[in-house]
Amino acid sequence: MRQIRQSKKLSNVRYDVRGPILVEAQKLEAEGHRILKLNIGNTAPFGFEAPEAIVSDMVHHLPDAQGYSDSRGIYSARTAVAQYYQQRGLRDVVVEDVFIGNGVSELVGMVLQAFLDDGNEVLVPAPDYPLWTGAVSLSGGTPVHYLCDEENGWNPDLADIESKITEHAQALVIINPNNPTGAVYSEQVVRGLVDIARRHELVVMADEIYEKILYDDAVHHHAAAAAGSDVLCLTFSGLSKAYRVCGYRAGWVMISGPKEVAADFLEGLTLVANMRMCSNVPAQHAIQPALGGYQSVNELIVPGGRFYEQCMLADRLLNEIPGVTSVRPRGALYCFPRLHPDVYAIEDDEEFVIDLLRAKKLLVTHGTGFNWPDPDHFRLVALPEPSVLEEAIGRIADFLATRR
């Protein structure tokens, strides 16, 4: 019989956070092993629950959420998002500028499908959240990776971005706070990124899903504020992380800047939104009480709060391992440590994390899975309670002791 093969559009698409390493973990689980999974930033398995007010409000609206909504989202959710940005200085944002989606992931795909033609280039950070690279490729575009500088707190290398812009470049992706590095960009850096977009007439696509998860003196600066009225900016965010509702799939994209020059693109985005009918309607009802209510995440990100304490603990324990350095995260939920090549001669980091998985029953994600060019990093999710983190990083230390 004829072999049924995957589409060639997938030839350059990877999502290693849930790729071969997870398949290997599932095989081990089927054999009866218990695997500690620190590969995905899923809050629920680690005891983080949604705020009760959000759950109650969503349940209250279930009788009204049985039919399709407007493809762009219910009015109350879009209003809440628009008001959220208005309160942060973006006073020109209105309800019509907001699209609700099944998480940021769906919206990234929708936007890129409506925006890209074959061969268009999109500048994406390295390391990145791999959805961006995969979605650009799947939409017919070409991801061009600009480097973030580990020795400079994982800030983007602005000169490297400039050197990689060609006549085919159409957009610049900014992930701030950054996944996987935990970097939070200063106002100066954000303005520098947007100025590059301004000079080269690029659309800014700002992934700000971790904007509320900040540590110590870190301050988040919206790219849309720097973009002003002359740079089209698409800001992606949602409830998954800060409100601990990953499974609700409630996210949004907000369009700001010179929308009059983007009328044709926005018509295309509306078409794509219409084709999927609408996003999950019950979860849309969680957006207004989340953004308008008590911000319980604030208790988690200060000293004594679980997000803060666990990220700082993970960073400290990783740095205590010989030949390992980790840049202290200033936001998000991860550490992205380096395995120094002069100590650990790793040629294939995916093979390395699979070996770690088999030996220690611990699942992390290799650095090249985030489109980092060298096989010398991995990402660890810092969501388990301290005792579990200590056990997990102890297993990593024991394993690395055999690899020096």
Q: What is the CATH number of the domain that holds 15?
A: 3.90.1150.10
User: Is 2 a domain residue?
Assistant: no
Assess whether pLDDT exceeds 90 at residue 118.
Answer: yes
pLDDT at 5 over 90: no
pTM of the model: 0.94
Mean pLDDT of 320-345: 96
E strands within 35-161? 36-37, 98-101, 121-126, 142-149, 155-156
My answer on whether 131 and 225 are in the same domain is yes
In this structure, are 314 and 287 located in the same domain?
no
83 and 149 housed in the same domain? yes
- Tell me if 3 is assigned to some domain: no
Range of the domain at 311: 8-48+299-401
Instruction: State whether 168 and 272 are in the same domain.
Output: yes
Residue 393 within any structural domain of the chain: yes
Residue 36 reports pLDDT greater than 90? yes
Instruction: Write the CB contacts of 110 (distance below 8 Å, at least 6 apart in sequence).
Output: 99, 101, 269, 272, 273, 276
Write the pLDDT tens digit of every residue in 11-30. 777 776 677 888 899 999 99
Whether the CB-CB separation of 332 and 210 falls below 8 Å is answered with yes
Q: Are 170 and 120 in contact (CB under 8 A)?
A: yes
Kindly state the average pLDDT of the residues 371-387: 96
- Confidence at residue 142, expressed as pLDDT on a 0 to 100 scale: 96
pLDDT of residue 10: 78
How many domains is the chain built from? 2
Taking only the tens place, the pLDDT of each residue in 70-81 is: 999 999 999 999
Which of 240, 267, 292 finishes a domain? 292
Same domain membership, residue 189 and residue 87: yes
Tell me the pairing of strands 362-363 and 36-37. parallel
How far is residue 368's CA from residue 325's CA, in Å, rounded to a whole number? 17
Give the mean model confidence (pLDDT) for residues 149-166: 97
| CA nearest neighbour of 193 among 167, 217, 165 | 165
φ, ψ of residue 355 to 5 degrees: the values are -60, -40
Q: Residue with structure tokens 């925006």?
A: 115
Q: pLDDT value at position 269?
A: 96
Which of 247, 269, 292 represents a domain boundary (last residue)? 292
Domain final residue pick, 266, 292, 318 = 292
Asked, for residue 1, whether it belongs to a domain, the answer is: no
The per-residue b/e assignment along 180-213, b for 16 or more CB within 10 angstroms, e otherwise, is: bbbbbbeeebbbbbbebbbebebbbbbbbbbbbb
Does one domain contain both 263 and 348?
Answer: no
Q: Which residues contact 323 (CB under 8 A, 6 or more apart)?
A: 339, 340, 342, 343, 344, 400, 404
Tell me if 326 sits within 8 A of 337, measured CB to CB.
Answer: yes
Does 236 share its domain with 336? no
219-250 residue pLDDT tens: 999 999 999 999 999 999 999 999 999 999 99
The structure tokens listed for 308 are: 């803060």
**Average of per-residue pLDDT across 123-137:** 96
Angle between helices 386-401 and 306-319 (to 10 degrees): 20
Amino acid present at 397: A
208 and 127 co-located in one domain: yes
